[in-house]
Amino acid sequence: MSLKASIRLALALTVIMGGMSQAQDTPAPGAAAGTEDPYLWLEDIHGARAMDWVKAQNTITQKQFADNSKFMHSRDRILEVLDSDARIPYVERRGEYLYNFWQDKAHPRGLWRRTTLEEYRKSEPTWEVLLDIDALNKVEGKRWVFKASDCLKPDYQRCLLQLSPDGGDAVEVREFDIPTKSFVKDGFRLPAAKTQVGWIDDDHIYVGTDFGPGSMTTSSYPRIAKVWKRGTPLSAATTVYEGKMEDLSVSAYHDRTPGFERDFVSVTHDFFHSDTYQLKDGKLIHLEVPTDAANVDAHREWLLVQLRTAWTVEGVTYPSGALIAAKFDDFLAGKRQFTTLFVPDEHTALSSYSWTRHHLILDMMDDVKSRLDVLTPKADDHWAREEMPGAPKFSTVLVDTDPDHSDEYWLIVTGFLTPTSLERGVLGESRAQVLKQSPAFFDASKFEVSQHFVASKDGTKVPYFEIAPKNIKLDGSHPTLLYGYGGFEVSLQPFYSGSIGRSWLERGGVYVIANIRGGGEYGPRWHQAALQANRLRAYEDFSAVADDLIKRGMTSPGHLGAEGGSNGGLLMGNMLTLYPQLFGAIACEVPLLDMKRYVHLSAGASWIAEYGNPDDPKQWDFIKTFSPYQNVKSDVSYPPVLFYTTTSDDRVGPVQARKMAARMEGMGHRNVWFFENTEGGHGAGADNKQSAYMHALAYEFLWDRLK
The catalytic residue positions are: 566, 682
Under 8 Å between Cβ of 285 and 257? no
- Phi first, then psi: give them for residue 396, nearest 5 degrees: -125, 135
Q: Which are the contacts of 13, defined by CB distance < 8 A and separation ≥ 6?
A: 488, 566, 567, 603, 607, 651, 652, 682
Under 8 Å between Cβ of 419 and 439? yes
Under 8 Å between Cβ of 290 and 628? no
Burial 283-311 (b: 16+ CB within 10 A, else e): eeeebebbebbbbbbbbeebbbbbbbbeb
SS3 80: helix
Under 8 Å between Cβ of 364 and 520? no
- In 3D space, the residue among 416, 516, 419 whose CA is nearest the CA of residue 467 turns out to be 416
233, burial (CB in 10 Å: exposed 0-12, middle 13-18, buried 19+): exposed
Q: Which are the contacts of 538, defined by CB distance < 8 A and separation ≥ 6?
A: 486, 487, 516, 517, 518, 530, 571
Distance CA 37, CA 195 (A): 33
CA 264 centroid distance within chain: 24
CA 375 centroid distance within chain: 28
Q: Which residues pair with 468 in a beta bridge?
A: 448
- In 3D space, the residue among 302, 373, 371, 294 whose CA is nearest the CA of residue 332 turns out to be 302
CA 163 centroid distance within chain: 19
E-only strand ranges, 153-220: 158-164, 171-177, 182-183, 189-193, 196-201, 204-208
Cα Dmax for the chain: 72
Residue type, 70: K
DSSP string, 359-419: -EEEEEEETTEEEEEEEEE-TTS-EEEEEPPPPPTTEEEEEEE-TTSTTEEEEEEEETTEE
CA 462 centroid distance within chain: 22
Q: Which are the contacts of 138, defined by CB distance < 8 A and separation ≥ 6?
A: none
Under 8 Å between Cβ of 210 and 186? no
Q: Is the dihedral of CA 344, 567, 478, 6 positive or negative?
A: positive
- In 3D space, the residue among 611, 605, 608, 609 whose CA is nearest the CA of residue 571 turns out to be 611
508, burial (CB in 10 Å: exposed 0-12, middle 13-18, buried 19+): middle
In the chain the first and final C-alpha atoms are separated, in Å, by 44
